[in-house]
Structures are given as structure tokens and as C-alpha cells.
Amino acid sequence: MPLIRVSMFPGRTEEQKRELVAELTEAFLRTCGGKREGVWVVIDEVPREHWAVGGRLSSEPRDS
């Protein structure tokens, strides 16, 4: 059972998530083979204030 885990900021529509999991599943099957029902996808929506890049919270304004 392959598991594809996606972490991203909240804000995508259900339709965007539906398309994302379909595309990820297809890419996995095309590349690695297997059965569609065996590919699991989990979407973790992480608030910006819980995510940091380069030592700064993503919720903080960035310098230009």
C-alpha cells in the first residue's frame, strides 16, 4: 500500500483536492505500477502559523 502524503496551506477547494489526488494516483500508477485501490493519498492542511521556512513562520510578512 503506497501512501502519498501532501502537506499544504489550507484554501484549496474540494474540486482542486479531488483533481490533485486523481493526478497523484495516476502518476504513481504510471511510474510504479500497482492497483488504483492500493494507492492512498493523505492531504494535511497546515495553517501558515504552523509552517516555517528559512527560520521564519510562513504567516509573517516577507521582505521583498
Q: Could you tell me the pLDDT band of residue 62, with boundaries at 50, 70 and 90?
A: confident
Q: Which amino acid is at 64?
A: S
Are 37 and 1 in contact, with CB atoms under 8 Å apart?
A: no
* Residues whose CB falls within 8 Å of the CB of residue 34, separated by 6 or more in sequence, listed in order: 2, 28
User: Does residue 64 form part of some domain?
Assistant: no
**How many domains in the chain?**
1
Nearest to 39 by CA among 51, 26, 50: 26
Tens digit of pLDDT for each residue in 7-60? 999 999 999 999 999 999 999 999 999 999 999 999 999 999 999 999 999 999
Are 28 and 34 in contact, with CB atoms under 8 Å apart?
A: yes
Tens digit of pLDDT for each residue in 42-52? 999 999 999 99
**In CATH, what number is assigned to the domain containing residue 50?**
3.30.429.10
Domain that holds residue 8: 3-57
Active site residues: 2
d(CA 44, CA 55): 21
User: Does residue 24 form part of some domain?
Assistant: yes
